[in-house]
Structure 1
Amino acid sequence: MATLPTIFVLNGPNLNRLGRREPEIYGTQTLDGIAAVMSRRAEELGVAVDIRQSNHEGHLIDWLHEAEDSGAKAVIINPGGYGHTSVSLHDAVKAIATPVIEVHLSDPETREDFRHTDLVALAALRVIKGQGAEGYLTALDAAACL
Structure 2
Amino acid sequence: MKKILTLHGVNLNMFGKRDPKQYGTITLQEIDARLQSLGKELGAEVECFQTNSEAAMCERIHAAFSEGTDAVLINAGAWTHYSYAIRDALDILTCPVVEVHMSNVHARDEFRHHSVFADIVHGQICGFGVDSYLLALRASMALLPNPGVA
| TM-score with structure 2 setting the length | 0.92
Matched, 1:32 2:29: yes
Cα distance in 1 for residues equivalent to 2:58 and 2:40: 27
- Measured after TM superposition, the shift of residue 121 of structure 1 is 2.0
In structure 2, distance between residues paired with 1:119 and 1:127: 12
Residue of structure 1 equivalent to 2:101:
104
Q: Normalising by the residue count of structure 1, what TM-score does the alignment of the two structures yield?
A: 0.94
Matches within 5 A, 1:1-146: 4-145=1-142, 146=144
Q: Deviations over 1:60-86 (max 9, x none)?
A: 111111112111110000000000010
The alignment partner of 1:81 has SS state of helix
Secondary structure of the corresponding residue to residue 9 of structure 1: strand
The total of aligned residue pairs comes to 143
% identical equivalent positions = 38
Separation in 1, partners of 2:34, 2:21: 21
Runs of 4+ in 1 over 4 A off after TM superposition: none
Compute the displacement of 1:97 (Å). 0.9
Structure 2 unaligned spans of 5+: 145-150
Letter in 1 for 2:3: T
SS at 1:120 equivalent? coil
AA partner of residue 71 (structure 1): G
2:100 is aligned with what amino acid? V
Q: CA RMSD in A?
A: 0.9
